[in-house]
A and B are shown apart, each in its own frame.
Chain A
Amino acid sequence: MMDQIAEQISLIGQRIPKPDGAAKVLGRTQYINDMVLHRMLIGKILRTDRVHARILRLDISKAAALPGVHAVITGDDTPMIGIGVNKDNPPLKSGTVRCIRDEIAAVAAETEAIADQALALIEVEYEDLPAVFDPAEALEDSAPQLHEDKPGNVGLSYNISYGDIAAGEAESDVVLDETYDLHYVTHCCMGPGCVLAEFDAMGKLTIYSQTQYPYNFKMDLAPTLGIHPGDIRVIQPPVGGAFGSKLDVYPFEPICAFLAQKTRRPVKLVFSREEEFIASPTRQPVRAHIRAGAKKDGTLTFRDVNCLLNNGGYTSWGATVPYVMMRTFSGHFRVPNVEFKSTAVYTNNPFAGSFRGYGNVQATYVTATLMDKMAEAVGMNPIAFRLKNAQEPGEVTPQGSLLKDCALADCITIAAEKTDFLKIYAANAKVETGRYRRGIGIATSLHNAGGAKIHKSDGCGTILTMDDYARVTLITGASEIGQGIDAVITQIVAEELGVPMASITIVNDDSAIGPWDVGVHASRTTFIAGNGARRAAIKAKAQILAAASKEANVPAEEMELRGGHVVQSDNGVSIIRLDRLLRAMHFAGEDAELVMVTDYYEPPSEPEGDNHYGDMSAAYAHAAYVAEVEVDTMTGHVRVEKMTVVQDVGRVVNGLGIEGQIEGGIAMSIGYGLTEDLRIEKGIVKNPSFRDYKVATAPEMPEIAYHFIENDTPEGPFGAKGIAELPAIVPAPAIANAVYNAIGVRFDNPPITPEKVARALHGGQDGGDQ
């Protein structure tokens, strides 16, 4: 008797809990911070207390003699081979220190207390050197030079030019000239930086790492250790947050490996929270000078942008954020003439890395507030002005991004309608009295949503196997860093193979098993790894249906997989149970086969050339967020009451996951706009604690209203686009625009703290730009 298998409700768009949720709520999840290996030692790093100095004497003898200490290493024992984007940062510094986080020695000891005691016994004498902290000052001829091979302190420069700025300016009726100072913020991952390293008897390194790019991590780590990348195995236990902070090799990782190599024992190194604030990368601070013009009818004429980036003492990804900034300045709204120049300048500050949103947080703060200023200058409302300059589907930006399904105008129109924007905006602007004033503001942006081909490949490998019980193991190169890719991949594979989600195991925590992936960044993982998983599942399905066709003598195209069975497509009648078929395939004598497929998905995008031109993503997405705020004009406190999210997501895959990403992004962006400020004064981090560095807490979260635009982007998995950075990018400038609507003051120097607001309203220094 044959069962009829009911048609399954599609999993795509459902609200699917994360498969790692149970272990996490039960407290069973073991992070590296929780791990203990046999004979494991504890590593600790001694950092300098100077911002720029020559090391005259570094005496480790007392520390090395302390019982329980197994190794003390310095830059004299370890290779001076730099890590980071410019390879300018040797893990342990020898000779000169250039910023307050500089690592000068490290110990491995039997306990944390002994390690701390050993650090205190290390004697250092310095000769202080002249220091420089401001990037403009660091460019002056008389400035101290930080790196011998970087004359003039210039780290990295990016320049693009399209059209004719002078011609654009000549036809402008309005020209604005604005300077923005975009500040230091930091990731504040709840799990502090941590690594555990161990060498095996053959001299191969196993590193338990929080990295979010395990495969290129090997390539970047190997040279400084003097070993072959192939001799590094990266294991990725669950990680307590990443947000871009783990996209590079940082000194503590090779230092831990050096300690493990020297002691021939496993060594674990965990940051304190203070160390996390001081010695993990920040978001890139940017001083942006922009001149921009428009005609009376609202047509944008030109943008001329000059950015100075404080590079700090060394170079990680922070200095490369212009890659993304320039795409926004040139490509967000139709701008016929664009020049963008940026210079990252070495100073004696700590340095920046990559951070969710990359340079687009900075570029969008500028462009989205400048669009409002420009609208006012030409006498248009913020909605009409934006719609006037919004691109149509199919337009190509000056840098070659093909906006094939551009939803910018839709985003703006829907955001305005859903919030009754124009009416509220006009009403708020009229109110000039009263302690509490309300404001509404809109901001939009554009971000890559189908990967970002910044390396030679933007691909992801996938291996799918099925066992004799129809259980699926899906091995993907893409990492789970808490964001929920395991849930998305489980849904996609279950959808294609018609098996329960509980029958799928995702494996993505071991570089010795997983196939290559470029890393979790650039809002790419659902798109790229999702496509890879789907393609692998489709290949597996084809193999299964071919075997079923042979077994049951029914053409493959007349069958499908449903509810753990192979069924007839037309009536859903089961032809054979899937596990039985798999066993039949497996034990078929000479024709035996396993379902065991591989896929390497390379998105159809092109790398940027040296001229920064190229269609670098397989999809782009826009978003328009509307913030509604209340400003207390007495205290200067800004409260975000509501955030309306209108975002082109292509297609929602996991309702819970997408909202979770957006809500987390909004919290982060509220922090960027209102409260978070890593204060670095003369190279010293002044507020390295959660007491003095304020991230958003539960009472500060606004009501959030969603409107997703779902147009099924052609290349996306089930039409989905990448979504997770725009929520961290767009809210802050929407809030800034809302604050202006409330009190008529612009703040081009976030965060918009109560102090700044109160000073702007009641006098005093450091207010906004009235």
Chain B
Amino acid sequence: MRTILHSDCNSFYASVEAAEDPALRGLPVAVCGDPALRHGIILAKSAPAKKCGVLTGEAIWQAKQKCPTLVLVPADQRKYLRYARKMRAIYRRYTHFVEPFGLDESWLDVTGHELSGEEIAAQIRNSAREELGITVSIGVSFNKVFAKLGSDMRKPDATTVITVDNFKDKVWPLPVDELLYVGRATRRRLARLALYTIGDLACADDVLIRAVLGKNGETLQRFARGQDTSPVLCAEEAEEVKSVGNSTTTPHDIVDEEGAKAVLYLLADSVAARLRAHKLACRTVSVWMRDSELNSQERQCRLGQVSDSGSDIARAALALLREHYPWHLPLRSLGVCGSDLKSTQHMVQLPLWTPPKVLRERALEGALDDIRARWGNNSIRRGLMLCGAATQDLNPVDDHDLQGLSAMRGRG
């Protein structure tokens, strides 16, 4: 039987701010983006702010209405990264099998350790409190899915143990969407079958679930029954890059294709530069579009050939936008992502003849990388960027903690 821990830092961003500045302790604190650049939403909130009803993702003015004494702190991604790294160093005192899940969550496989899972959890909580000044909630179980459920059950600074003997009492009465990977759509489908709790899903007929949810249904049912066998990957394995993406909310809405084109080229250039830095090229390009009413959609296509060129990626992204976005509403945010990655370090299937234009483009992009590495990301730009007001203040590489679109979708 394995011993898996899932550790979740409580209100991570807000806790880090309070750990750095004791004057914030006990106050309703919210970490927010920059309102001037329209990133003015609540990214994280402290426990007192949560009590006032402040929600992650809502606009600052809405939060202020609910809680007039709310203290706003601008987000400092580097600081959070530093704390996250320190936190992982604490985990690694017990095991090398540490799999990060976002910045503030990690799974640990401590099977075979001389201490019990609960004892390790207690020590980790203690170290986090004393060394970093933040609190964590830890779930201890025999698989990853239940460990994650456990860490959500009691907060803050608590340990929840889910064993083979007690999981039917502790886990099965919970609503089905508490289970990892059960989102709104799956919950609705299950509700149509009158399956509302995790226990309902676990006990439902296999054939029925397979018919309604397909292969994913089988996986979810295995999760609900405590039969998840997925391993905890050690950090090196987990950090293998699967996709490289970048998205942004522009300071002004994008009203036409010309404006969108400028943003897409900007994003594609930054995605391509990161691909080249990792010695990777992508086969699939996806574009993520969110309109001014916050509806989002994502479309993807395959490139004729793997590419790490900003122009190729931008052209594909623009074609997708043209095909799928009807311009019924202005665009608020755009994202570009390259996936299905291949290493360019080893063998690459070369076309028999590469047109001179393509060779020139590659050389140009290599030169751009050099210039940007020396003098900063905004030191050289495409002429196209000067046209659209939407792109004037954007610096995708320096401004954002870059991540895949799937992560963006989660934040909605």
B and A form one assembly:
no
Q: Residues on A close to B: CB < 8 A? A: none
Residues of B within 8 A of A (CB): none
